Structure 1
Amino acid sequence: MRIAFTAPMKPLDDPVPSGDRTMGRLIVKALEAAGHEVETATRFRAWRATGGVDVQKEVERAALAEAEHMAGAWRSRGYRPDLFLTYHLYHKAPDWIGPAIAAEFGIPYVVVEASRAPKRRTGEWAHGFAAADAALARADMVAALHRADRQCLADVVPPHRLAVLAPFIDAAPFLRAERKPRHTGEPLRLLAIGMMREGAKLASYRVLAEALDRLPASLRFTLTIAGDGPGRAEVEALLSRHPVTFTGTLAPEDIPALCAAHDIFVWPAIREAFGLVFLEAQAAGLAIVGGDTFGVPDIVAHGRTGLLSAEGDAAAFAANLAALLSHPERAAAMGAAARDHIGADHDLASGAGRLDALLSRALRNFAGRATASPQ
C-alpha cells in the first residue's frame, strides 16, 4: 500500500530529539517492515507554542495552501496514495492537510496517536481544538497510544473507528546488548534517562531525589543519569547526597550498552504519556521502578516487570525502590521478565503487525462509508 505520511506535531527530520520524533520514525519503519511504501507528504508543522484564534487561523490558511500545492504536485507526477496517515494530532497540532487531501483524492484517512482535552474546547486553543475534532470525525481509523487517551477520544470517535496501538520500539539493539554482570556484594546499579528542563522533566527529578532521600541508609546503590539541559545544576544539587554519575546527553546508539550495565531503571514519569525509555530499559533487562502515569502501566507490567507508584508520590516510589534494593534477586527476575515482555509484545515486528491490522480496519471503514446510504 502507498501511504502518505505527515507529522503536524514535529517533522521526523526535526533536529531536536524527542520521544515524539522517535515514535514517528518507528511508525514509518514498522509500516515499511510490513511491506508498505511510505512517503513523507509534507514537513508542514501545525504545532504552535501559543494559541489564539488569529494564530490558529493563520496556521489553517497555510496548511490548506500546502494541501493545494501538494495535490497539484502529485497530479503532475501521476502520484496517488492509497491512504493518508497523520501522526500525533491534538489541539496544539491540528491537521487540516490530511482531511483535505483525503477528500480531494477519495482515499482513507488515519490518525495515529491522538489525544483530546475537553477543557480546551473554549479559550485560546478553541479553534485548534475544533479543527482536531473535525479531523477525528473525518478519520476512518483513530489510534491512541494508551488507554487514558482512548477514554477521552471515545466521546467523539465511535468504537469501530477507535483503537489502542500499543507503543513499540526497535528492540533488537537492546535485546542483543550483552548484560554487564554485577559482582557479589556490589550495590545495585540504578539508571535514569531524561532531559533536564523545566516542567514535567524537572518535576520527575525532584520526586526521584525526594524518594532517594527517604531510603534507609543501609540500602546501597549507585545511580547513573543520562541527559542534560538548562536544569542540570538543579538536578545535581538535588542529588548531591547520593552516589551519582552524570553522563550528559548520549547518542542513541550508546543507550543499549548503557542500559545493559544497570539493574533497575528509575523514573517517576510526571505527566509522561508513556515513555519510550521504559520500553528500551525493559528490553535491555532492567527492572522498572516508575510512576503509574497515563500509558506507563500499559507497557510496564506491575509486579512482573517492575513496580509502579502513584504519580508524584515520593514515599511510595521510595518504598518500591527499597523493595527491590532489599532483594536483588527479585530485581533480576523482573529484569529477565522485562526482556521477554518487550520481545513478545513491544518490538518492531509486533508494531508492524498491529499497524497493518489498523490499516485494514481503516480500509473497511472507508469502504463502508462509501457504500452507506445518505442520511
Structure 2
Amino acid sequence: MGLLSGSGAMVTLASELRIYDKSGDAERQAILRAKAAHEIDRICTEIVTAPKAERPDLWLTYHNYYKAPDLIGPTVARRLSIPYVQVESTRAKKRLSGPWSEFAQAAHDAADAASVIFYLTQQDHQTLLRDRYCDQHLVHLSPFLLDHRLPEPSDRSGPMLCVGMMREGDKLASYRILADALAQVAQPWRLNIVGDGPARPEVEQVMSRFGNKVRFLGELDRDALGILYRKASIFVWPGVNEAFGMVYLEAQSHGVPVLAQDRPGLRDIVTNWDLSALTPPPDSGPEGYAQALTQVLDDPVLCDRQASRVRNRIANRHLAPAAAQRLWSTLSPLLEIPS
C-alpha cells in the first residue's frame, strides 16, 4: 500500500477480514466463506453509494494461495467492472485434493480472474505460467525494500551477523546448519544473532558450544538493526525454504556480503559472487556451508569487490523507485492512464 500511495494513488484497505485456514478445517473454511459473502455485499453497497470520485478504479490483492484465497476481490471487481490484479500469488495443483481442496480451488479461480499477476520469484513464475488463464499477463516484480535510497554502507569491522526468527521447522533447521558449520570453521570469528521466538531455547542450546563467540541480541527494531548492518562483516543465514528473505536484501543494501545456500527463492535476490562460495548446494549440508564460509573468511579482497557490487544491484533493482516504476508501467494501461 505504501508503494502505491507513495506514487500518488489513493489506496484504501477494502476489508479487514482475514481469510486464512492454517490446518485444513472444513468448518472454518465454510465460516470464512460466509463472512466473505457478507463483506462483498457491504463493500459493493458502500462503493455504489459513494461519490463517483471516491469509487475504486482497480482492485489489487496480495498473496492469494491455497490457505488464504481471495474470496472477495474477484466478485467485487466483476460487479464493479474494474480490473482485478494480484501480487505474489501461487498455484498449487496438489492441494486441489485433500483438506484444502475447496480453498485451493478458490485460489485458482481467483488467479484465473486476474488480468495481471505480479510474481516475485522464478519459482512462482513456473507454476503461474503452467496454469496461466487465457491471455493473462505475468509480470516480474523484483522483491524490494521500501527505501528510496541506499543506507550507509557497512565498514565490515564487526562480527558476522545472523537475522532470523526462532521457531520450529525451517527456521530452526537453518540455525542447526549454521551451528554445525561454524563448528568446522578454523578461522577466528564472532557472531551476532538477531531474532526471537518460541524456539529460542533450542537455538541457544545449539549455539552454546561456542560460548561468548556468539551474542544473542533478541528482536530489534529497524534502527537498532541498521546499526548492526553498518558494522557486519558477513551476513550468514542458510535460508532453508525461504521464499526469498528480506533480510538478504537489507544486508546487501549495506554492502554486506551474504552467505546463503543455493535455493530457488534466494536465487532471485542474492547476487552471485565471482566464486561459488556464495551459494553452497543444500545437499552439501553443514560441511558445504562451512567450506564456503572458510573461503569467504580467507578472501577479504573478494568481500571488498562484492560489497560495491551488491549495493549497485540493490539500487538498480530492489528499492522502491524501481518497484513503483514496474508496477505503474503495468497498471497504467489497465486504468487508461498514460505511463
User: Structure 1 length as normaliser, TM-score?
Assistant: 0.83
- In the alignment, does 2:74 pair up with 1:93? no
Cα separation, partners in 2 of 1:323 and 1:172, compared to 1, 3 Å: farther
- In the alignment, does 2:224 pair up with 1:254? yes
Deviations 1:302-322 (A, max 9, x none): 115971122362222112111
- In the alignment, does 2:102 pair up with 1:134? no
Q: Give the whole-Å Cα distance in 2 for the aligned partners of 1:128 and 1:232.
A: 33
Cα separation, partners in 2 of 1:114 and 1:362, compared to 1, 3 Å: farther
Provide the residue aligned with 2:281 in structure 1.
Answer: 310
In the alignment, residue 279 of structure 2 is paired with which amino acid? L
Q: Give the whole-Å Cα distance in 2 for the aligned partners of 1:110 and 1:29.
A: 17
Matching of residues 215-364 of structure 1 within 5 Å: 215=185, 217=186, 219-242=187-210, 243-303=213-273, 307-311=278-282, 313-360=285-332, 362=334
Cα separation, partners in 2 of 1:310 and 1:117, compared to 1, 3 Å: farther
1:57 CA displacement: 2.4
Provide the residue aligned with 1:67 in structure 2.
Answer: 40
Q: Give the whole-Å Cα distance in 1 for the aligned partners of 2:14 and 2:183.
A: 50
Q: Give the whole-Å Cα distance in 1 for the aligned partners of 2:286 and 2:148.
A: 33
Cα separation, partners in 2 of 1:192 and 1:160, compared to 1, 3 Å: same
Where does the alignment leave 5 or more consecutive residues of structure 1 unmatched? 1-27, 183-187, 365-375
In the alignment, residue 163 of structure 1 is paired with which amino acid? V
Matching of residues 193-204 of structure 1 within 5 Å: 193-204=163-174
Q: Give the whole-Å Cα distance in 2 for the aligned partners of 1:304 and 1:171.
A: 27
Q: Give the whole-Å Cα distance in 2 for the aligned partners of 1:147 and 1:237.
A: 36
2:12 is paired with a residue whose SS is strand
Matching of residues 141-160 of structure 1 within 5 Å: 141-158=116-133, 160=136
Question: Aligned pair count?
Answer: 329
- In the alignment, does 2:140 pair up with 1:170? no
Provide the residue aligned with 1:37 in structure 2.
Answer: 10
In the alignment, residue 144 of structure 2 is paired with which amino acid? F
Provide the residue aligned with 2:137 in structure 1.
Answer: 161
Provide the residue aligned with 2:180 in structure 1.
Answer: 210
1:160 CA displacement: 4.5
Is the contact made by 1:200 and 1:271 (CA closer than 8 Å) also made in structure 2?
Answer: yes
Is the contact made by 1:171 and 1:283 (CA closer than 8 Å) also made in structure 2?
Answer: no
Deviations 1:195-214 (A, max 9, x none): 11111111110111111122
Cα separation, partners in 2 of 1:172 and 1:143, compared to 1, 3 Å: closer
Cα separation, partners in 2 of 1:76 and 1:304, compared to 1, 3 Å: farther
Deviations 1:174-220 (A, max 9, x none): x33353452xxxxx7211101111111111101111111222x2x11
Is the contact made by 2:156 and 2:233 (CA closer than 8 Å) also made in structure 1?
Answer: no
Q: Give the whole-Å Cα distance in 2 for the aligned partners of 1:334 and 1:171.
A: 21
1:363 CA displacement: 5.0
Q: Give the whole-Å Cα distance in 1 for the aligned partners of 2:217 and 2:251.
A: 16
Provide the residue aligned with 1:190 in structure 2.
Answer: 160
In the alignment, residue 355 of structure 1 is paired with which amino acid? L
Mean Cα displacement is larger for which, 129-138 or 69-78? 69-78
Is the contact made by 2:156 and 2:256 (CA closer than 8 Å) also made in structure 1?
Answer: no
1:111 is paired with a residue whose SS is strand
Q: Give the whole-Å Cα distance in 2 for the aligned partners of 1:244 and 1:127.
A: 47
Is the contact made by 2:156 and 2:234 (CA closer than 8 Å) also made in structure 1?
Answer: no
Query: Structure 1 vs Structure 2: percent identity of aligned residues?
Result: 36
Is the contact made by 2:119 and 2:140 (CA closer than 8 Å) also made in structure 1?
Answer: yes
Q: Give the whole-Å Cα distance in 1 for the aligned partners of 2:19 and 2:303.
A: 43
In the alignment, residue 128 of structure 2 is paired with which amino acid? L
User: Structure 2 length as normaliser, TM-score?
Assistant: 0.92
1:272 CA displacement: 0.4
Is the contact made by 1:212 and 1:318 (CA closer than 8 Å) also made in structure 2?
Answer: yes
Is the contact made by 2:120 and 2:141 (CA closer than 8 Å) also made in structure 1?
Answer: yes
Is the contact made by 1:290 and 1:307 (CA closer than 8 Å) also made in structure 2?
Answer: yes
Name whichever structure is richer in strand by fraction.
1
Q: Give the whole-Å Cα distance in 2 for the aligned partners of 1:304 and 1:359.
A: 37
RMSD after superposition: 1.9
Where does the alignment leave 5 or more consecutive residues of structure 2 unmatched? none
